[in-house]
Structure 1
Amino acid sequence: MAVIPTPTTNASLALKMQGFRTVTEALDYAAQGETGFNFYNLRGEAFASLPYARLRAEALDLAARLAGRFERGARLAIVAETSPDFIVAFFACQYAGMAPAPMPMPVNLGGKEGYLTQIRQMVLGARAAAAVGPKALSGFLEEAVSGLDDAAVMDFESLRALPVAAETPRPFGPDEICYIQYSSGSTSAPKGVIGAQASVTANLHGIAVHGLKLTAEDRAASWLPLYHDMGLIGFMLAPMFAQRSVDYIATSDFVRRPLLWLRLMSANRTTATYSPSFGYELAARRAARAEDGAIDLSALRIAGIGGDMVRPEALNLFTEAFAPAGFDPRAFLPSYGLAESTLAISFADLDAPVAVDYVDMRHYHRSGAAQPASALTSPEHRRGFVLCGRVLPGHAIEVRGEDGAPLPERRVGRIYIKGPSVTPGYFSDPQASNAMFDGDWLDTGDMGYFLDGQIVITGRAKDLIIINGRNIWPQDIEWAVEKVDGVRQGGVAAFSVDDGEGERIVVVAERRGMAPEALAELRREIARVVQSAVGAPAQVVLAKPHSMVMTSSGKLSRAKVKAKYLEGAFDEAPAEMAPPRALAEARV
């Protein structure tokens, strides 16, 4: 029997985006309408539909069963597959007063052992009463939590088979927790960001009302993983908060068929979507495979960008590819946020062109100031930074210098934020929580500067390379090396290593399949490009195809690549010739 997706609009339920003190209050209201979540397979066919009314009914039923097995306040670590099962379990936890801790699907995290280690660390960190996932992953979960007597392993079916509790469970209140969010890029014991009901609903209100300015006619589409904050908050909780329908495809299906994302939006007249820069780039590089008339993006008014550094080149590629299919580049919406602010802290203006500030990086390296590039600035020293908008109402951003004092415009410093969306801290880690705050201000660990009242992100403070007193951004090296013929797009990691005599730069570049005699020339060319881009020498490591390490959100993990390098795990022996394949295809 064919699945009928939920409608874009509700027949009589009025749009409401404020006044909800908890996630369950928002779902209680959304369940009075007809909208909800829809799930599509690799062929673009809807295989499941979950109206908010049925989501609420199933979540309440499961909550009563969870209450019969686990204590109120327990944490459940749940594998966040893109499915009705995960979403029902997440909301069941809300109604049962239990904190869900979404965990990643098994993707390219350095192989099976890397995945099992990450799952075990998350279960330990959350002190979870159970690790829950689809039946197909039960073996993985059993192995991951082996020896942890306090953590049961259950699949979604076994949860639904639990007996109902004698007493009706009590949902989370406005002053309680909502979830625990773990960073996908953690390399040691991961820190669990506490999402409180108050901070989550404050951010959902800011996103829906001020950032996206959602209307009763909006419909969303997403391929983002639900274990990542952009997928979980931005495209599960926020649409529900505003009673909007969402059409999902699995992250792995998007990577295999990027144009499926665009075809789905075309068919359903999607108005809002989001992606890191590489998602737009990957879709653009597949544009030639689209049949004439198959893509129509004329309804898309929000094409948000987040989750990594916004790359103007990727946005330009997407615009060139799909402007003939009705895409308006004014739909691009740069934004800035982090899990510690729930999700978003700033948005650019809707319906405005993307603003790019071109900076003379030589001057920046000398002075720490983002001086505009001039006609005399050479291309290799000219760098474009995208303006990521103004802070949400009720929140604040400061850019501070090394002395802790706020900096004027165009001076690069450390970014601090405060406001109702900010997390109260990390779960069961008071030391890390205290270190994160300076009074009411949260240290984001990001670097950037202000321009015309908008925040511009330049990178992570911890990734900064300091050579002979000069500050060098790894992105400057990575983006320059990516342009070298023979290097995979997005497959470069630059970092520094202290060899006892000072820091030196290491560049690990994933090469394409090529003959052995070409490798030496490629290494020399990369070294030349690095010297030209940042004025410093570098050790160049050529990694075999598909040997880089990704986070569960699909980004290259610079920290994990560095760890792999320090372990001596990169084998530079020539590999068999292999057909070129864009790195983004291997990200999941």
Structure 2
Amino acid sequence: MKGSVAYRSIQKRGLHIGLLPALAAAVNGATPITLDHDLDVLPEVGRHLTVSRLAELVDDLAARLWAAGVRTDEHIVLHKRPNADVWVLACAASRIGAVPVMLSPSLDAATVGALLERVNRPNLLTDEHKLDVLSGLPLAELTRRVITVSGERPQTISLGKLAGSPRIKPVVRPIDEAAVITHTSGTTGLPKLVVHTPRTQGIRLKPQWRLLSLMRKRENVAIHIPFVHSRNVAAMALALLKEMPVLLMNESDPDTVAELFLQNRPGLIEALPNSLMAWEGLSDDPRKPFASVKYFSSTFDAIHPGTMSKLLKSSERRGAMFFQIYGQSEVGPAVGRAYFRNSAHKANGRCVGWQMPLGSAKVRVVSRDGNRPTEQNPGRIEVSWPGLAKTYFAEQERYDDNRDGDWWGTGDVGYFTRFGCLHMLDREIDMIPGVRSSLEIEDRVLSRLPELSELVIVPGAGSAAVPVICTHDDRPLDPGRWRSAAADFPQLADPVHIPQAELPRTGTLKVQRLALVERLKDQLGDRA
């Protein structure tokens, strides 16, 4: 089977992740998958697989889940330490018609407990480490059963003990029913559970299927995305159907990442914006770990132009390109744009892209005050297409409140330029009076101060705009250099310098701005 045939089948029947490994094996079972870590559930399989071997593992684990008592239509919450086996186990759960609910390993026990209660006694698939973290929760009351990937604990079922269970015929879920549930980033309170269907998951492949079609040969693809995220579902489906060897990464330490790239020589890297920021120092590494990369790709948040420029200049490939996509869990990819080596440094970081080809998402900007949205008067950004998530699990009213017919409110504000580029200025909830765009200021000051590793502008007392800064290795920042770099922004208060490790982040490394304000409320009040 050709990858294009498999893709057309998905567009017709939807993306079922339980069937994906077998479908990809029919396209090319020899496509290699390299891991930078051992699978917790099956450490003996090693770090070098093929797609055919992956399909076998998913079939085996599906049988074990069935033997453990999981049944079609049941929810199974996956919450364990970061590991690619989360995605593999989600495929296995889907293969028997269960609905995987993917919870980030970064969530605290109270949040996990609240989400388990919302799902109404699901199965819980976890590991011994997380069982210790969740020890204060009444799991017997919150769950139908608790299953561990290995080891033995009282009142749990171990998948390790169920090897050799009879194989189960795969189940195909209805195209418009829940297939996978992920959650929002949790930057503003308890995460919402986002319901994806086979149809919505398949539709979201369209824009990047076209992008990958630009690649003239099969090249190694390095993927560094949280394994529980909806974007990982799309990234793995695209790579495997395109027969591209995959380096599936868990490690984020720059030195380790450099070694991985030198060993595997990826032609494409897809990673979180904050991961790429953490790795940009490798652009000066004399070993040139990014030399082989022709395509960098990032979603989630807009990325700083300086980071893109450094990465592109560290590639030795002709026509190297950075492709940025703006979207969110509820809408998938909304707009995108490409950046090139000689122009990325001049880019406006607030320009998140243009609407993509026919069949992709439609985007509009709606007035907040009755006047036409402009740069000085940004409006609300809304998205419409069949790829919108179906609902928020157990919060239909909350979901409906965010829709206007076919249009979904992203919560962001911005405007379209006369050339049709969408500029995203801020989250509406994060807007500060007197500040046109906190994100724009952050972009510009970061470009002027390479010693900064992060800059976040938050409201202080009296809605003053207070910069919270972090530096590489937590070194002190020269006050004179700060004053010079921030001279264009007199509305800023004096900066608050905190250690990088104290920045509250989500599982996708976004800064939790409201949590940061709460954590620093005494300091922010003093500075304002």
Aligned to 2:22: 28
Residues 167 and 208 (structure 1 numbering): CA distance in 2 closer, same or farther, change over 3 Å?
closer
Name structure 1 gaps, 5 residues minimum: 1-11, 107-113, 359-382, 573-588
Counterpart contact for 2:200–2:389, Cα < 8 Å = yes
Q: Which amino acid aligns with 1:465?
A: I
Counterpart contact for 2:349–2:443, Cα < 8 Å = no
In structure 2, the residue corresponding to 1:161 is in which secondary structure?
helix
Residue 412 of structure 1 pairs with residue 395 of structure 2: no
1-structure distance, mates of 2:22, 2:430: 43
Aligned to 1:563: 518
2-structure distance, mates of 1:543, 1:487: 14
Residue 333 of structure 1 pairs with residue 323 of structure 2: yes
2-structure distance, mates of 1:353, 1:81: 40
Residue 98 of structure 1 pairs with residue 91 of structure 2: no
In structure 2, the residue corresponding to 1:393 is in which secondary structure?
coil
Name structure 2 gaps, 5 residues minimum: 39-44, 151-157
Shift of 1:354: 5.8
Counterpart of 2:459 (choices 496, 499, 504) is 496
Q: Residues 451-493 of structure 1: CA distance to partner in whole angstroms, max 9, x if unpaired?
A: 4233232232221111xxx343222444455578797421x32
Shift of 1:76: 1.6
2-structure distance, mates of 1:224, 1:167: 30
Residue 506 of structure 1 pairs with residue 473 of structure 2: no
Shift of 1:53: 2.4
Residue 63 of structure 1 pairs with residue 58 of structure 2: no
2-structure distance, mates of 1:287, 1:423: 37
Q: Which amino acid aligns with 2:130?
A: L
Shift of 1:403: 4.8
Counterpart contact for 1:334–1:386, Cα < 8 Å = no
In structure 1, the residue corresponding to 2:179 is in which secondary structure?
strand
Shift of 1:333: 1.0
> RMSD value over aligned CA atoms?
3.8
Residues 570 and 117 (structure 1 numbering): CA distance in 2 closer, same or farther, change over 3 Å?
farther
Shift of 1:215: 6.1
| 1:128-167 alignment, distance < 5 Å | 129-143=122-136, 146=139, 148-150=141-143, 152-157=145-150, 158-159=158-159, 161-162=161-162
Aligned to 2:353: 388
Aligned to 1:257: 256
Q: Which amino acid aligns with 1:239?
A: A
Aligned to 1:284: 280
Q: Residues 215-237 of structure 1: CA distance to partner in whole angstroms, max 9, x if unpaired?
A: 6624311222212343x134323
**Alignment length, in residue pairs?**
502
Aligned to 2:438: 474
Counterpart of 1:311 (choices 289, 304, 310) is 304
Shift of 1:84: 5.2
In structure 1, the residue corresponding to 2:467 is in which secondary structure?
strand
Shift of 1:241: 4.2
Q: Which amino acid aligns with 1:282?
A: A
Residues 76 and 155 (structure 1 numbering): CA distance in 2 closer, same or farther, change over 3 Å?
same
Counterpart contact for 1:180–1:194, Cα < 8 Å = yes
Q: Residues 413-453 of structure 1: CA distance to partner in whole angstroms, max 9, x if unpaired?
A: 22111112111121111121011101100011122332423
Residues 487 and 339 (structure 1 numbering): CA distance in 2 closer, same or farther, change over 3 Å?
same
In structure 2, the residue corresponding to 1:317 is in which secondary structure?
helix
In structure 2, the residue corresponding to 1:534 is in which secondary structure?
coil
Shift of 1:96: 1.4
Shift of 1:255: 4.5
Q: Which amino acid aligns with 1:314?
A: T
| 1:107-506 alignment, distance < 5 Å | 115-127=108-120, 129-143=122-136, 146=139, 148-150=141-143, 152-157=145-150, 158-159=158-159, 161-162=161-162, 168=169, 170-210=171-211, 213=214, 217-230=218-231, 232-252=232-252, 254-255=253-254, 257-266=256-265, 270-291=266-287, 295=289, 297-298=291-292, 300-320=293-313, 322-323=314-315, 326-328=316-318, 330-341=320-331, 343-348=332-337, 384-394=349-359, 395-403=361-369, 407=373, 412-451=378-417, 452-466=419-433, 470-479=434-443, 482=446, 488-490=452-454, 492-497=455-460, 502-506=462-466
Residues 504 and 302 (structure 1 numbering): CA distance in 2 closer, same or farther, change over 3 Å?
same
1-structure distance, mates of 2:473, 2:520: 20
In structure 1, the residue corresponding to 2:330 is in which secondary structure?
helix
Shift of 1:176: 1.9
2-structure distance, mates of 1:506, 1:116: 31
In structure 2, the residue corresponding to 1:70 is in which secondary structure?
coil
TM-score (norm 1): 0.74
Q: Which amino acid aligns with 1:227?
A: V
2-structure distance, mates of 1:166, 1:480: 57
Q: Residues 261-290 of structure 1: CA distance to partner in whole angstroms, max 9, x if unpaired?
A: 532442xxx332223444334333134444
Moved more, 72-81 or 436-445: 72-81
